Amino acid sequence: MPRQEFPAGFVWGAATAAYQVEGGIQADGRGESIWDRFAHAPGRVRNGDTGDVACDHYHRYREDVALVAELGLDAYRFSVSWPRVLPNGTGAVNRAGLGFYDRLVDELLGKAIAPHLTLYHWDLPQALEDRGGWPARSTAEAFAAYADIVARCLGDRLASIATLNEPWCSAHLGYGTGLHAPGRTDPAAAGAAAHHLLVGHGLAMQAIRAVAPRTPAGIVLNFEALEPASDRLLDLEASTIANEQMNSWFLDPIAGRDYPVAGGRSWSWRQNEILPGDPGLIATPIDFLGVNYYTRRRPQSPLLPAAEPPAQSPECTAMGWEVHPEGLTDVLLFVRSRTGDLPLYVTENGAAYELDPADPTRDPDRVSYLARHVAAAHRAIELGVPLRGYFVWSLLDNFEWHEGYGYRFGLVHVDFETLERRVRGSGRYWASLAAAPRASGTAGAAGAGR
Ligand code: FCB
């Protein structure tokens, strides 16, 4: 393969998530989500920002699909708002809410853009949180019923369907640190939530298989490159624990392994929620795995005196996340060590940078960040990783969770006063990748791993 030629069928795309872009939180019978409740509670989100309007994608989706088409991208990854489809989390379907995704999918297909759908990108119906949220097993069962409804309606038109986005964040930021909705700070609840998210994934996989057996189905997990802060034994151990908690906790049981031991011990989760059939359920075969990668962390043992800061401070994005492209190669190799030939996608990668006040569409730093990560992904392919596609986070500047609108990740600049969209330099760069020829040969289908 000549330098930077990507395999036949390789997919270039961009990603968004419902609560971060849609707005229209009361449109057409949508129910309340935990993020509506959280964002409206004082002090939870920077500047008191909320997703009430966001990018108003709910009303402007045609314009946004036209932008994806203008960039010539192959694919668009989006998520469905559960409370739009089921305002109470369970029970009666809100046809108008489901209708939005029906129109979105048709709009994408009409422009030859492959729709990649995620069922859950963190916006749990508040009604389900009121009944216990993810720490309660009933939420996993409700999730499977929701998966059935969406897969039945849209399944045969989708290029792929992912159950969960980054369950680590849902469990630990939502129920452990409380940084994310619903904002609970209870380590035992976080452990239970993590397990029930995986049970929900397994149940949803089975529901999807039953009604849309030909749609490639899988899950999206987040990974970090990890390197111990020093070569002292305690830092090595801290790094191993971090790796088990961050990189292996969800991947291993999906790949048919046990929960990692050291990570679990250090979380002090008593594992009472595991029922006899759960490991098999969680390991229900998947057709692809989505890998989200942004940065590297250097774990340090709390038992050692703080290490000297490095002589040269590392290159960071506006959010203070270290830019470490080689980590993407490492993470992809790590995932492959568990998943073998299973098709992988980079389902998120990207960076926030400060706006150039003279021209908010000028973003050379983002182009440089992306180009170096694309090279790292290419390196992984050369090393045999079955990588099938790459989605930038994000198509649009949007609501960055507890950080509000302060940090911008878009290939497209959004003016949050006028909601005008303007393609950035990074958007044109991404368009050039999508326009480049792929290697000749047969495309690796997302379903090839089955
Ligand atoms: C990921 C989330 C995504 C976005 C990026 C920056 O963890 O999945 O929604 O916020 O981080």
Distance 393 CA to ligand 1 centre (A): 7
CATH number at residue 56: 3.20.20.80
Report which ligand 1 atom has the smallest distance to the Cα of 220.
Answer: 8
Alpha-carbon distances of 432 from 13, 74, 381, rounded to whole Å? 12, 12, 20
Q: Which of 166, 173, 250, 346 to mutate to test the pocket of ligand 1 (most atoms within 8 A of CB)?
A: 166
- Residue 3 falls inside a structural domain: no
Report which ligand 1 atom has the smallest distance to the Cα of 17.
Answer: 9
Spatial contact of 135 and 197, defined as CB atoms under 8 Å apart: no
Strands (E), 209-362: 217-226, 288-297, 344-348
Dist. CA 121–CA 297, nearest whole Å: 23
Which 8-state DSSP code applies to residue 241?
H
Neighbours of 284 (CB within 10 A): 18
Report which ligand 1 atom has the smallest distance to the Cα of 350.
Answer: 6
H-type alpha helices, 360-399: 364-382
Dist. CA 148–CA 164, nearest whole Å: 14
Distance 326 CA to ligand 1 centre (A): 20
- Residue 415 falls inside a structural domain: yes
Report cis status (omega within 30 of 0) of the bond before 394: yes
- Provide the angle, in degrees to the nearest 10, between the axes of the packed helices 187-211 and 137-154: 30
Does ligand 1 come within 6 angstroms of the Cβ of 19? no
- Residue 448 falls inside a structural domain: no
- Residue 416 falls inside a structural domain: yes
Instruction: State residue 448's pLDDT score.
Output: 37
- Residue 79 falls inside a structural domain: yes
Does ligand 1 come within 6 angstroms of the Cβ of 393? yes
Distant-in-sequence, close-in-space partners of 387: CB < 8 Å, separation ≥ 6? 10, 332, 343, 344, 345, 346, 377, 380, 381
Q: Which two tokens mark 180?
A: 């994310």
> Per the structure, how many domains does the chain have?
1
Spatial contact of 51 and 122, defined as CB atoms under 8 Å apart: no
Spatial contact of 163 and 202, defined as CB atoms under 8 Å apart: no
Handedness of CA 266, 272, 277, 282 (dihedral sign): negative
Alpha-carbon distances of 158 from 109, 149, 212, rounded to whole Å? 9, 14, 10
Does ligand 1 come within 6 angstroms of the Cβ of 123? no
Distance 166 CA to ligand 1 centre (A): 8
Distance 279 CA to ligand 1 centre (A): 28
Q: Which of 122, 179, 400, 403 to mutate to test the pocket of ligand 1 (most atoms within 8 A of CB)?
A: 400
Does ligand 1 come within 6 angstroms of the Cβ of 222? yes
- Residue 449 falls inside a structural domain: no
Report which ligand 1 atom has the smallest distance to the Cα of 352.
Answer: 6
Report which ligand 1 atom has the smallest distance to the Cα of 165.
Answer: 8
**H or E element, residue 14:** strand 11-15
Distance 444 CA to ligand 1 centre (A): 27
For ligand 1, atom 4, the nearest C-alpha belongs to 400
Spatial contact of 33 and 125, defined as CB atoms under 8 Å apart: yes
**What residue numbers bound the domain in which 197 lies?**
11-435
Task: Give catalytic residues, as residue numbers.
Answer: 166, 348
Does ligand 1 come within 6 angstroms of the Cβ of 224? no
Distant-in-sequence, close-in-space partners of 69: CB < 8 Å, separation ≥ 6? 111, 112, 113
Does ligand 1 come within 6 angstroms of the Cβ of 118? no
Instruction: State residue 308's pLDDT score.
Output: 79
Does ligand 1 come within 6 angstroms of the Cβ of 124? no
Neighbours of 36 (CB within 10 A): 22
Does ligand 1 come within 6 angstroms of the Cβ of 165? yes
Spatial contact of 134 and 175, defined as CB atoms under 8 Å apart: yes
Half-sphere exposure of 155 (CA within 13 A, CB side): 22
Instruction: State residue 444's pLDDT score.
Output: 57
Does ligand 1 come within 6 angstroms of the Cβ of 17? yes
Does ligand 1 come within 6 angstroms of the Cβ of 401? yes
Would you call 414 helix, strand, or coil by DSSP?
strand
Dist. CA 102–CA 93, nearest whole Å: 14
- Residue 444 falls inside a structural domain: no
Does ligand 1 come within 6 angstroms of the Cβ of 286? no
Spatial contact of 82 and 442, defined as CB atoms under 8 Å apart: no
Q: Which of 177, 223, 224, 292 to mutate to test the pocket of ligand 1 (most atoms within 8 A of CB)?
A: 292
Does ligand 1 come within 6 angstroms of the Cβ of 78? no
pLDDT beneath 50, residues of the chain: 1, 445-450
Distance 238 CA to ligand 1 centre (A): 25
28 φ/ψ sector (left φ>0, alpha ψ -120 to 50, else beta)? left
Dist. CA 394–CA 412, nearest whole Å: 8
Spatial contact of 182 and 131, defined as CB atoms under 8 Å apart: no
Alpha-carbon distances of 7 from 77, 340, 438, rounded to whole Å? 20, 18, 5
Does ligand 1 come within 6 angstroms of the Cβ of 317? no
Distance 221 CA to ligand 1 centre (A): 11
Which 8-state DSSP code applies to residue 260?
P
- Residue 174 falls inside a structural domain: yes
Measured in whole angstroms, the distance separating CA 149 from the mean position of its chain's CA atoms is 21
Distance 440 CA to ligand 1 centre (A): 33
Report cis status (omega within 30 of 0) of the bond before 182: yes
Give the angle subtended at the CA of 366 by the CAs of 363 and 371, to the nearest 5°.
Answer: 125
Would you call 258 helix, strand, or coil by DSSP?
coil
